[in-house]
Structure 1
Amino acid sequence: MSVDQHSDPFEERLSSALHDTGNAFEADRGALTDGGRVRGRRMRVRRRAAVLGGAAGIALVGVGGVLLLPGGGSGGEDGRTSAASAASGAEVTADAQDTPAPVSGEELIRTLKGLLPDGEFSGEQGRGADSVGGPFAQVVYDDGKGPAVVGVSLSLVGPGSPQAHEATRCPDKILIPHDSCDTSTLTDGSKFMMFKGYEYPDRRVDTRRWIAVLVTPQGQQISVSEWNSAAEKDAPISRPAPPLSASQLEEIATAPQWRAAIGAVPEGAETPSAESSAPPPHADDPALREMFAELVPDRVEVVSKGGQGSGYAYLVLDDGKGKSFVQVNVQPDMSDVAHQLYGSAETLDDGTMVATRQGPGDERSAGVVMWTVDTMRADGRRVVVSAFNTGAQHEDATRDTPALSMKELRAIALSPRWDDLN
């Protein structure tokens, strides 16, 4: 992957993971994405591919098989990369009036290599603090047991903002399959997350991806990722696991050199915009999932429920014939892209547009089907409900059809209770 193409490893993982968890809410995905980008006041529409997700903190909202990230934008734009607190507990002392010269990509590469154990290096890539996309360094590291990609990505996030919280929030295993994820608080108040998962959540290729994410109280964010192959994608597995242990990965993520590099980010980039620091304009996640569960017919049992972020919730249902994954996405103010999403869809007397779809689900999961009812109120509020014939979108089908009928999905999507959400 070239430097120009590089994106935050953490975001990529999230992106990749969510892509695999949700090919749902089928509509015109391109139109969705374009519309979301045009509207800065809304969260950007993306494929639910990600997260760590979220992961590791990701507020996820899926629509049209897409992911909405709080505040919109990528890691470099909305500041979702992590910052570490030094292992020694040293405090950040960067003087806003005496900002050091931006650190170059070459310097970041040298720093990364200096923090890694002895070994051979190749495939070096870097981007400086004043570059579009933010500071980043990546190398192919070989300790004698096989080459592996190791990378670090740096940025800033609003202290105490939803992005800061989500960056170190472990993903829901129903949405983002992984081996383990742990979070902790360091002595200086920094939040730390260690995630061990896979480049492809469906494990069609067994490329492992481990990520350490740190966010300081000042909003400095550092993300360190490693793989067990010489490239993030499309490279043979070179070793059973990535080269660095969890403790080694944490030691690199908490190295004070990264915080110094973030301190050299050009003036203006350090202050998150009001939009990126504000809560996303969607329903509160717990309230959403509870309402969703209450709208399910009594004939089915709610086995589990969850969601990540605002505007998205899921349920796992069981009608006695096996588990069925059902999800809802609620988005306000989408009227500007209604013509792209609904076309000649049915329009009710109150102006609500209704589109339906029954077709295949995730193409990498055998036999999975997805049934969707996609609605938009006259005020632009979009409610999309999808159901699958499996207990998790990334797993093969466990039953012939979803647990809810299209009539039941329609009743849920058109419920007036969605209009009561803030």
Structure 2
Amino acid sequence: MPADSTPDAGIADEATTGGSGRRAKGCRRKPPSKGRRAVRVAAWTAAGVVVLGGTGVGYLYFKLNGNIHSVDIDQALGAHRPTKADNGSENILVLGSDSRSGGNKKLGGGTDDGSARSDTAMVVHLYKGHKRASVVSIPRDTLIDRPECTDAKGAQHPAQSQVMFNSAYSTGGAACAVKTVESMTGVRMDHYLEVDFSGFKQLIDDLGGVRVTTTKDIDDPNSHLNLKSGAHTLDGTQALGLVRTRHGVGDGSDLGRIQLQQAFIKALVHQVEQVGVLSSPTKLYDLADTATKSVTTDSDLASVKDLASFAGGLKGIKPSHMNMVTMPVEYDPSDPNRVIVQQEKSRLVWNALKDDRPIPASAVKGAATGEAKGVVETS
């Protein structure tokens, strides 16, 4: 049996699963399969790919293409980076941005200073053959050593020790976030995808909401979320509150929020399967327009055609062949609001991705979790 078709390739014994899809260039558009939809929403911050994989390059191409923002990561970081894999596997850094400016000002919470941070970060690893994937969430409150970075205006920022992970993005933008992740992991990021708050909110509204069931009451004034236990159809504002809440569930940590995000991804996959966007040209256009206005990519994915081709190439990934884990961390003994990396276990995770191997279950066993698993289920 070929290596990329091994039944347990990319699947840890105790991981939470989901899935997605993709179409090669030049192929006739087909209705998205369950696996194709699932991988596209493997990270809510990459939700725009849900639409882009189905739009093709028809009469809307030029308008939608002009919506996309991009960053030339390769030029910004130069040649001093981890080696790019030559076996067809790929790594994508997916970020959710909580900019305090523009349409995000009323959604971001916290300070109203126009700054931005990476509220959510996930490394998506596509295994050789693109039949399986692993997603590793990086807690934003992780204390890390950030390398020297140059921001988009050319200003240099010296390296810093023991700073929060999400400070890399607020310090030097996308390029600094990528450089920091590569420094932490030793793994080359082949692509970059970012979606902001207002775009995520509008995408959920364009979909008509997402149905979930909460097994406990959630009340978090900080994320403007108040849900009683039971079934709900979340609009964009509520969905955004759910994936951002931390004080209303579990132990109040960022780790609990990550568990909610992973549960919401499953609910979003289920909802996309039900709405039939391809049967409604108006709904499809609204989704595509919102997605392309909201997404920021690396320069290699900076067109509808390239994004559609990238998404279309994932069609072989089934939901059961997608692994979702959190980078192994433990609570900082000196500050319960921060976490520190479990270095030995994390090396097992990143080395597995570097070598295109499944993440061993032992790598995540015993790590801090946030105690929010099971609070949200697919309705």
**Length-normalised TM-score, structure 2:** 0.28
**Length-normalised TM-score, structure 1:** 0.26
Structure that is richer in helix per residue: 2
Bigger radius of gyration, 1 or 2? 1
